[in-house]
Structure 1
Amino acid sequence: MCTGVFTKTKDGTYLLSRTMDFVFPLEPSPLFIPRGFEWQAAVKKASFNTQFGFVGAGRLLGDTYFVADGVNEKGLSVAELYLPGEVYYAEHPINNKVNVAPHELILWLLGTCATIEEVEGKLADLHIVSAMIPELNIVTPLHWILTDLTGRCVVIEPTEEDLSIKENKIGVMTNTPCLEWHIENLRNYLHVRPKQYEPVRFGEYIANPFSQGTGTTGLPGGFTPPERFVRAAFFKEHIEEAENEEQGVYNHYHILSTVRIPKGIVVTAADTVDYSQYVGTMCNNSKTYYYSAYDQHDIVKVTLTEELLARTTPKQFELAAKFKVHAIE
């Protein structure tokens, strides 16, 4: 479970946000990966070196870093979301291919590619192999949403051997089913609108609305992927357009507040609690990552400054106290 949203502000700023919804406490925080960072893939123990520095959310799992989303110094941003029941992963690596586990793909994408066009050009050499993520001991069924400085928004869904790019003209992504299904499903909600419905006559009786908001009647309110997709698409489409990056970040938090899952609301068949562990927002233009955890309403940010990019080792940013209230007099 997760929801992703991509928008453009009036001044041409591109922002990608996501909720991280999961049952296992991931305990991530903002994380910087430097240029020239060497990491070892789970498949064939092959070594890779990052060409570009990037910042996102993640943590050290075992001997390698797990990164769930991020933006690199070239303005490419990526987020991974669950796609259970739909993915195809190879069982074995192939020689002369880039063999990576699904949970390693963001490390490779952000460290290697500057644009979506470049990603597209390298897909033929990419081979995703089924391998467990350390400590979780599961193979994560993932798909990925990507954006860059051109304003392009695409999705990679590994449902067959050969990978391809899907254009995402809606700028929203959730979970299973695949993207095409969600887009078609929007046709069931043509009646949902921001504007109030007019009174309706039934014989001699005029039925007036109880209050404001009748236009949103029928907007789904549950937390299934289709319901979250429709809700996020509606709010993204109709929220007042942001002027700049700061307003854009606020807009994303308002949009995602409609799909964030509190603890206790979604309980799995195994009696585990699925909830929104954090919200991460990436700005392609300023190369900035915004982050807020479940129990922290403050938004923290990390920008890829020249000083940060000069580092040669990863940096895990510690968060401030979890509960903070600003008292006024």
Structure 2
Amino acid sequence: MTYQTSDGHYWLARTMDFAFELGGEPVVLPRHYTFQSVTGSQFTTRYGFVGAGAKLQDYILVDGVNETGLSAAALYFSGQAQYTDTPAADKLNLASFELLNWLLGLHQNNADVAADLDQINVVNFELPLLHANVPLHWIITDQAGHCNVLEIRADGLHWLNDPVGVMTNSPNFEWHQQNLGNYVQLQNGSQPERQFHDYTAQEIGPGSGALGLPGDYTSTSRFVRAAYTRQFAPRMSDQAAINTVNHLLEPFDIAKNLKLQTNGNSDYTQYRGYMQLSQPTYYFQPYENSTLSAVQLTEALLTKDTATVLPVPRQQDVHQLN
């Protein structure tokens, strides 16, 4: 979800929920980094960026923010993502899991991305880590608060305005947006008392305005819950926002063994990522350690010759009070 601060700045926050151990760590890719695609194509970044990822053939990132304040996150789009089978000679050919590097490495804002979409061709390629093609769609936002969803389906590429500021996994964005019509009664206050013949019913306790808010782990329910959460979130200053977005994302954490796939593997929240756009900074919070680790894009990191991987402690620190 995106978050707007009281001083008009923006954040993007996400949970990374997966059963397979991805081993993601904060990674900084500098300016003028030449990225080698599994398709045989390559491109050189204009802008440095930081996000969570790992090195396979090259560095693969699934979310992040660049030095201009453009931010993006990849989410699962199973059953609906559809890419081409063959590279195109007149386009930059990329696998789905490489697209985020292109988004953040070559663009300043959402308008830049929209103008360049006809230059790319997303090709079916297996991610070596998973030995499978990865169905993805992307939420993208910039410092001006523009928010879009990028989806590649059987009928082509879709660049969608996202006025909700939220995205989850499948189905497509238009379905999620229309589904909000089933929850227009939700509010953060109380429902009025209700007359049932000769009996006047009153709420048992505060919070009745949110009765019916779905609490399960499906992507459709999480979209509704995120839209509600974002709508009523308090507006804090940019400097104080990290505490607020941390609390906003807490209800979306999936603990191990609470969401099992059909093969018995457990989807769980491997990390939470928080991206500050105004002072490009990436905050990383792994499952094993609730402490936040921050990486700010400095000139020293942006002008390095190589990528920088910043491992995060996985052991929970407990401070003893005496």
Match for residue 121 of structure 2 among 122, 127, 132: 127
How big is the shift at 1:151?
1.2
Determine if the alignment matches structure 1 residue 48 to structure 2 residue 40.
no
Report how far residue 157 of structure 1 moved. 0.5
Deviation at 1:18, TM superposition (A): 0.7
Deviations 1:102-143 (A, max 9, x none): 000011111111111111111111100000111211111000
User: Contact 1:50–1:111 (CA<8 Å) still a contact in 2?
Assistant: yes
Contact 2:254 2:269 in 1 (8 A): yes
Distance 1:149 1:212 in 2: 36
CA contact (8 A) 2:14 2:273 kept: yes
- The one-character-per-residue Cα deviations of 1:134-185 (angstroms, maximum 9, x if unpaired) are 1211111000111112210001001146424210000000011100111111
Tell me what 2:245 maps to. Answer: 252
1:13 aligns with 2:9: yes
- Per the TM alignment, residue 300 of structure 1 is displaced from its structure 2 partner at its CA by 0.7
SS at match of 2:182: helix
The residue type paired with residue 119 of structure 1 is V
Q: How far, CA to CA, are the matches of 2:9 and 2:317 in structure 1? A: 30
Map 1:213-232 to 2 at 5 A: 213-232=207-226
Q: Comparing 250-259 with 170-179, which one deviates more in the overlay?
A: 250-259
1:299 aligned residue: 292
- For 1:308, the equivalent position in structure 2 comes to 301
Within 5 A, what are the aligned runs for 1:58-77?
Answer: 58-61=53-56, 63-77=57-71
Cα drift, residue 41 of structure 1: 0.7
Between the aligned partners of 1:321 and 1:154, the Cα distance in structure 2 is 33
Superposition CA RMSD, Å: 1.3
d(CA) in 2 for partners of 1:233 and 1:18? 13
CA contact (8 A) 1:120 1:164 kept: no
Aligned residues between the structures: 322
Per-residue deviation, residues 164-215 of structure 1 (Å, max 9, x unmatched): 4210000000011100111111111111111112222333333222211111
Contact 2:301–2:308 (CA<8 Å) still a contact in 1? no
Which amino acid in structure 1 is aligned with residue 297 of structure 2?
A: L
Q: CA deviation digits over 1:83-119, x for unaligned, max 9? A: 1000110000010101000000011111111111111
Question: Take 1:87 and 1:78, find their aligned partners in 2: how far apart are those partners?
Answer: 18
- CA offsets 1:19-45 (integer angstroms, 9 cap, x no match): 0011101111111111121221111x1
Identity of aligned residues (%): 37
1:32 maps to 2:28:
yes
Q: Secondary structure at the match of 2:248?
A: helix
Residue 226 of structure 1 deviates from its aligned partner by 0.9
State the partner residue of 2:170. 176
Counterpart for residue 92 of structure 2: 98
Structure 2: where are the runs of 5+ without partners?
A: none
The answer to whether the 8 A contact 2:288-2:314 is kept is: no
Q: 1:206 is paired with a residue of what secondary structure?
A: strand
Q: Which amino acid aligns with 1:46?
A: S
Please give the secondary structure, in 1, of the residue aligned with 2:21: coil
* Alignment partners' CA distance in 2, 1:188 and 1:123: 33
Residue 328 of structure 1 aligns with which residue?
321
Q: Do 1:197 and 1:209's aligned partners in 2 also have CA atoms closer than 8 Å?
A: yes
Q: Residue type matched to 2:269 in 1? A: S
Is the alpha carbon distance of 1:123 and 1:161 closer, same or farther for their aligned partners in structure 2, counting shifts above 3 Å?
Answer: farther
| Alignment gaps of 5+ in structure 1 | none
Letter in 2 for 1:16: L
TM-score calculated relative to the size of structure 2: 0.97
